[in-house]
Amino acid sequence: MSSPTPRNVIPSAADTATLLELADASMLRHAGPIDPLLVERASGTSIWDRDGKEYLDFTSGQLCATFGHNPDALRTAILDSFSRTVHSNSYLLSEEVIRLAERLLALLPAELSKVLLLSTGSEATEVGLKAAKMATGRWESVGVSRSYHGHTGGAAAVTFLPRRIGTGPAQPGVHALPAPYCFRCPLNTSYPECGFACADVGMGLVDTQRTGDVAACIIEPVLSTGGMIEPPAGYLPHLKIRCEERGIKLVLDEAQTGLGRTGDMFAFETAGVVPDVVALSKTMGGGFPLAALAVTDEIAERAEENGLRFLTSHMNEPSMAMIGLTMLDLAEHHVAEQSAARHGEKIKGALEEMALEHQLIGDIRGRGLLLGIEWVVDADTNDPNPDAAVAIAAECRNRGLLVQVVSANIWRIAPPLTVSDDEIDRAMTIIHASIVAYLETTL
């Protein structure tokens, strides 16, 4: 039998309105209304819609295009790997897979000595928690309020955002610590006088509520989707001590912070803490489905002895591993060049100047090129202002800049590390003009 003739349907002559009608009729709306921006192509810091309009993408393709959209090195890696094999078998390895594991371990602290390659951040979270449970023989876990770790069962159970609502009971034995949210302290205290009360009070509540022993505590080094919350200096080491006192393994979710985004290769390096488990994704694949999990020898050995099993159809893919090797090359280059730190300082400085002019900007926070703006009503009350956050983001989009409202009144600003000074200047001009336009409509 002859092979079917390939059908080339992209791009077609259909207009945008027609395609949106088809989407509305055929696609499940998994995150609210279908976005009317249809992407035609992307390169570097920019994407273009089907009408040819350019947008500066200060979301980095949902934090996956950390080194820009469609970099040459990524295309080369894809072609090299796809010319040999795209998919093999979850049980089988290839040289690319082994080399990627080796390269990751060379970048991580020596205590983290075993790697598993997966497809998504949710999977990495799932396996990290599962490995901690099977290594310790415990089954309860701890997360942090305003955290985000994914949408699969175990990941969703330790995700404490409104998206939990409507799906019924989560996994039993899951507890939440108050977020280290200094701008709006959940305990109404002040850092550093608080002595990390959010961690201590939270762990005290876990001690009271648990019905078994806790296996793992999971946290993002910067709580990104939950509000761009960077824990204060010393928080993560303090949390690690509280975990060690209880025999709890510390799991760090570096999906949005790892591989150069915050300036260091991994965000936990700045905190001076070594976790028991690290989960990576997003930047790992540069837009392709690739994630990784790294664990200590102790966890690996005991989990394996106790029968650890985790299988999906797309683990250990040779094509994705080749892409991952290329992403590590780019990450090492940009960390050496201090790309995130240098560009982040420029953006932060521009935003701080705007904050002096406009009381709508209540707080600017974050590290490297993972920055946030918290929009408020005024400086006297610091009451949240979600209307301003949404309206100004929409005006930015109209003017050709994409930023993301991640939590009611909070923006995430996260351009690719390849962003130019000119592109930063253009983006800051658009933000300022959008603030002015918003204020003119509210007077």
Give residue limits of the domains in the chain: 23-70+338-442, 85-336
| Positions in the chain whose pLDDT score sits under 70 | 1-11
Residue among 42, 30, 101, 35 nearest 67 (CA): 42
Q: Report the C-alpha gap between 311 and 309 in whole angstroms.
A: 7
∠ CA 127-131-135 to the nearest 5 degrees? 175
**Helix, strand and coil in the chain, % to nearest 5:** 40, 20, 40
Compute the half-sphere exposure of residue 57: CA atoms within 13 Å on the CB side of its CA.
Answer: 28
Q: Which residues pair with 178 in a beta bridge?
A: none
Q: What is the pLDDT of residue 5?
A: 58
Q: Sheet with 249-253: list strands edge to edge.
A: 112-118, 291-296, 277-280, 249-253, 214-219, 140-144, 174-177
The pLDDT value given to residue 61: 95
**pLDDT score recorded for residue 339:** 98
- pTM equals 0.94
In the numeric block, the tokens 């295009």 are attached to 65
Q: What pLDDT is recorded for position 169? A: 83
> Residues for the chain: how many in total?
443
HSE value, Cβ hemisphere, 13 Å, CA-based, for 410: 23
pLDDT value for 230: 96
215 vs 299: CA distance, rounded Å: 11
d(CA 271, CA 269): 5
Q: What SS3 state is found at 143?
A: strand
Residue-level pLDDT at 2: 59
* CATH for 23-70+338-442 (3.90.1150.10, 3.40.1180.10, 3.50.50.60, 3.40.120.10): 3.90.1150.10
Strand order in the sheet with 404-407: 361-367, 370-375, 410-413, 404-407
Residues 224, 255: Cα–Cα separation, whole Å: 10
Inter-axis angle of helices 197-209 and 235-245, to 10 degrees?
20
Q: Any bridge partners for residue 175, and if so which?
A: 142
Q: What is the pLDDT of residue 346?
A: 98
Asked if domains 23-70+338-442 and 85-336 share a fold, the reply is: no
Tell me the CB-side half-sphere exposure of residue 303, using CA atoms within 13 A: 22
> Which of the four CATH numbers 1.10.1240.10, 3.40.50.720, 3.40.640.10, 1.10.3720.10 does domain 85-336 have?
3.40.640.10
Neighbours of 83 (CB within 10 A): 9
Question: Are 324 and 100 a contacting pair, CB within 8 Å?
Answer: yes
Contacts of 60 (CB under 8 A, 6+ apart): 66, 369, 414, 415, 416
